[in-house]
């Protein structure tokens, strides 16, 4: 109920529309309740007494009732739908905004498909509950009250007999509601898993085909799809049993009424018009009761979806601004990493790191996979927070400055180039789409991207496809470098920016990177060690610890970890060529 109340509170700002909708529903419910009252004079006056005057006004009354009831139903449908759609639109915006605020650890724990399911399937179930269910709840409740008034007004003894059945419906309604919520939760979880599987296999279709795993993936999908089918069938079963059960219970009441009412008509203590008016009201009474039973299931489906949505909306981001966060001034001095330890899932990834990087210095990080290189540079823009110690930029603890001012001074180029299904221009200007055409072209030229862009069908207005699929690896990387150049940030992070490129593309990209690195404090995660020979300092990491640092010549002369890594990269070359290269490197 707390979740349901929360949804109702979200509708509070639309109370004017709801008031008008409620008025329409009250009128529609009242007019629906008035129909059985017309049955008594219609039968007694027209068919029994053959009153010609009654024949003149009763048909017009029926037409008027249906006309105004239809207009009121139209009005409430438009108003309630607008409220419901606005609620879910706002809910979807809140959900997406909150997802965007989360740290990288959140996305590591929540697969993309599950998050997509929150925004699509869960929100859709809330839309049904907040619009259709609430409309039916209010409208049918008014109709129920009106019809109960009619049957008591018509014959209170018959009414007492009829409503004896109602208490019998309470238990099955509550039982079906609980079962529906459980089934809905399982359904949404399975749908999220299915979405996640779709996202993985479609984005990784090249690998699926390369390894001939189409049948395997089809079986995985079919297994999850079968689970979804079973949960959906359970949901259908719960909904399906509600209606016939209510029909049966309603039939018991109607049978009792027919027996007692018919007995009174036969013995002259009641008129046929009174009896049929009562029967009409009673039959109409069971319809809103049945709908309210199904609405209970619908509301429980919506609540199950809302619970999952609010679990994300209410989640406090692991990394956020302090209330008194200050703006980070333009970086001019240094980045200092003091006694930093970083744990992931309580497992130490970095251990007591101490490092100072001067402004304008190029520092490269090397080491075997899992050594902590990426974890270390991810601490600078606060993608993660340190477990112990602190990171300072120009003397400011980065936890004390606003994330916007911190990340606004950091540009990143990664191995996995992330581009968006948009134009070349908008991808380069990502982060500041108001930049001038001249700025964008200059950035593209500095990134050695202008020439191939001009060969595209629409030049800078060409769409590059999802994740830049219409471009080659080198072209995508140069677009990414142009984006970083346009940002003009004083701190630059290069995360294995050339490791996935062929030799020709690497030369072009490396030239663009050289332009990008000029005058910036640069942190480089290196895969190909030949690309960092000119770095001011090289930091070797082993198991989360700094084991040595220095420039290329110094570290080669030490013949330590860096020498070992450098030597490994030539192990597949001929021995003479390798020795010549090593001799050249060592001077």
For residue 500, pLDDT beyond 60:
no
Highest-confidence segment of 245-249, 268-272, 520-524: 520-524
DSSP 8-state code for residue 164? T
Give the strand order in the sheet containing 537-542: 410-414, 491-495, 521-525, 362-366, 537-542, 545-550
Average pLDDT (515-520) is 78
Q: Are 228 and 187 in contact (CB under 8 A)?
A: yes
Q: Which residue in 246, 252, 254 sits closest to 275, CA to CA? A: 254
What pLDDT does 51 receive? 72
Average pLDDT (341-355) is 85
Q: How far apart are CA 159 and CA 446, in angstroms?
A: 86
Binned at pLDDT 50, 70 and 90, residue 585 comes out as: very low
What pLDDT does 499 receive? 57
Q: Which residue in 539, 475, 36 sits closest to 280, CA to CA? A: 36
Residue 38 has, within 13 A of its CA and on its CB side, a CA count of 17
Q: What is the pLDDT of residues 226-243, one digit of tens each?
A: 888 888 787 777 766 666
Rounded to two decimals, the pTM is 0.67
Q: Is 215 exposed, middle or buried (0-12, 13-18, 19+ CB in 10 A)?
A: exposed
What is the dihedral angle through the alpha carbons of 194, 199, 202, 207, rounded to the nearest 10 degrees? -100
Average pLDDT (205-214) is 62
User: Who has greater pLDDT, 366 or 177?
Assistant: 366
Q: What is the CATH number of domain 402-540+547-585?
A: 3.40.50.300
Q: What is the pLDDT of residues 522-538, one digit of tens each?
A: 888 877 776 677 788 88
Q: How far apart are CA 234 and CA 176, in angstroms?
A: 11
Average predicted confidence (pLDDT) for the chain: 76
Opening angle at CA 575, ends 570 and 578, nearest 5: 40
For residue 587, pLDDT beyond 60:
no
Which range has the worst mean pLDDT, 71-75, 187-191, 205-209, 395-399?
Answer: 205-209
Q: How far apart are CA 553 and CA 587, in angstroms?
A: 8
Instruction: For CATH 3.40.50.300, list the domain ranges present in the chain.
Output: 402-540+547-585
Q: Is 538 exposed, middle or buried (0-12, 13-18, 19+ CB in 10 A)?
A: buried
Q: Cβ contacts of residue 97 below 8 Å, gap of 6+?
A: none
Binned at pLDDT 50, 70 and 90, residue 252 comes out as: low
Instruction: For CATH 1.20.1560.10, list the domain ranges present in the chain.
Output: 2-313
Q: Which residue in 171, 161, 138, 127 sits closest to 309, CA to CA? A: 127
In this structure, the strands spanning 347-358 and 362-366 are: unpaired
Query: pLDDT over 90 for what percent of the chain?
Result: 0
Binned at pLDDT 50, 70 and 90, residue 583 comes out as: very low
Q: What is the pLDDT of residues 128-170, one digit of tens each?
A: 776 666 667 777 777 777 777 777 777 777 777 666 655 565 5
Binned at pLDDT 50, 70 and 90, residue 505 comes out as: low
Q: What is the pLDDT of residues 45-95, one digit of tens each?
A: 666 667 777 777 777 887 888 888 888 888 888 888 788 778 878 888 888
Tokens in use for 367?
A: 């080491």
Question: Hey, which residues does 495 pair with through a beta bridge?
Answer: 414, 525
Q: What is the pLDDT of residues 447-458, one digit of tens each?
A: 888 888 888 888
Pick the CATH number of 2-313 from 3.90.650.10, 1.20.1560.10, 3.30.460.10, 3.10.180.10: 1.20.1560.10
Binned at pLDDT 50, 70 and 90, residue 31 comes out as: confident
What pLDDT does 37 receive? 72
What pLDDT does 582 receive? 45
Q: What is the pLDDT of residues 314-337, one digit of tens each?
A: 888 888 888 888 888 888 888 898
What pLDDT does 208 receive? 65
What pLDDT does 579 receive? 46
Tokens in use for 343?
A: 């744990």
Q: Indicate if the alpha-carbon torsion angle 27, 33, 37, 42 is positive or negative.
A: positive
What pLDDT does 420 receive? 78
What pLDDT does 525 receive? 86
Q: How many residues does the chain have?
A: 587
Q: What is the pLDDT of residues 271-308, one digit of tens each?
A: 666 667 777 776 677 677 767 766 766 777 777 778 88
What pLDDT does 586 receive? 43
What pLDDT does 303 receive? 78
In this structure, the strands spanning 396-397 and 388-393 are: antiparallel
């Amino acid at each position: 109920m707390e979740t349901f109340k929360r949804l109702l509170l979200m509708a509070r700002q639309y109370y004017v529309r709801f008031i008008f909708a409620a008025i329409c529903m009250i009128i529609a419910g009242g007019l629906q309740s008035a129909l059985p009252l017309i049955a008594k004079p219609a039968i007694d006056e027209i068919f029994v007494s053959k009153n010609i005057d009654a024949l003149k006004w009763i048909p017009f009354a029926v037409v008027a009732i249906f006309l105004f009831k239809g207009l009121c139903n139209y009005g409430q449908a438009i108003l309630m739908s607008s409220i419901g759609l606005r609620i879910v639109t706002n809910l979807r915006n809140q959900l997406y905004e909150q997802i965007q605020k989360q740290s990288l650890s959140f996305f590591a724990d929540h697969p993309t498909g599950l998050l997509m399911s929150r925004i699509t399937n869960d929100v859709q179930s809330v839309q049904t509950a907040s619009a259709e269910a609430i409309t039916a709840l209010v409208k049918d409740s008014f109709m129920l009250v009106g019809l109960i008034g009619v049957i008591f007004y018509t014959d209170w003894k018959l009414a007492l007999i009829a409503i004896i059945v109602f208490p019998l419906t309470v238990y099955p309604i509550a039982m079906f509601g609980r079962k529906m919520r459980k089934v809905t939760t399982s359904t949404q979880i399975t749908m999220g898993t299915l979405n996640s599987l779709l996202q993985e296999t479609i984005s990784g279709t090249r690998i699926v085909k390369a390894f001939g795993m189409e049948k395997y993936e089809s079986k995985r999908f079919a297994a999850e799809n079968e689970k979804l089918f079973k949960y959906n069938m359970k949901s259908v079963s719960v909904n399906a049993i509600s209606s016939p059960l209510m029909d049966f219970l309603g039939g018991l009441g109607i049978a009792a009424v027919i027996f007692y009412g018919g007995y009174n008509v036969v013995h002259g203590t009641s008129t046929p018009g009174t009896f049929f008016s009562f029967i009409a009201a009673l039959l109409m009474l069971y319809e809103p009761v049945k709908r309210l039973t199904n609405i209970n299931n619908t509301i429980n489906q919506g609540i199950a979806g809302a619970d999952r949505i609010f679990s994300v909306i209410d989640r406090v981001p692991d990394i956020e601004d302090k209330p008194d966060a200050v703006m980070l001034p333009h970086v001019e001095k240094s980045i200092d990493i003091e006694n930093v330890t970083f744990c992931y899932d309580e497992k130490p990834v970095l251990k007591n790191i101490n490092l100072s990087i001067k402004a304008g210095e190029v520092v490269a990080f090397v080491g075997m996979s899992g050594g902590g290189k990426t974890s270390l540079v991810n601490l600078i823009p606060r993608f993660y927070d340190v477990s112990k110690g602190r990171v300072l930029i120009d003397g400011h603890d980065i936890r004390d400055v606003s994330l916007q001012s911190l990340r606004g001074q950091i540009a990143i180029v990664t191995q996995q180039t992330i581009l968006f299904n948009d134009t070349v221009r908008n991808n380069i200007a990502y982060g500041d789409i108001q930049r001038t055409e001249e700025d964008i072209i200059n950035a593209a030229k500095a990134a050695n991207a202008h020439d191939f862009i001009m060969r595209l069908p629409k030049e800078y207005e060409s769409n590059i496809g999802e994740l830049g699929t219409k471009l080659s690896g080198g072209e995508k990387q140069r677009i990414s470098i142009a984006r970083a150049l346009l940002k003009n940030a004083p701190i630059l992070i290069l995360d294995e920016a050339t490791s996935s490129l062929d030799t020709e593309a690497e030369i072009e990209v490396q030239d663009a990177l050289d332009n990008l690195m000029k005058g910036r404090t640069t942190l480089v995660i290196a895969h190909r060690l030949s690309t960092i020979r000119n770095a001011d300092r090289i930091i070797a990491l082993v198991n989360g610890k700094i084991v040595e640092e220095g420039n290329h010549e110094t570290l080669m002369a030490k013949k330590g970890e860096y020498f070992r890594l450098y030597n490994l990269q030539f192990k597949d070359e001929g021995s003479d060529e390798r020795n010549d290269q090593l001799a050249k490197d060592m001077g």
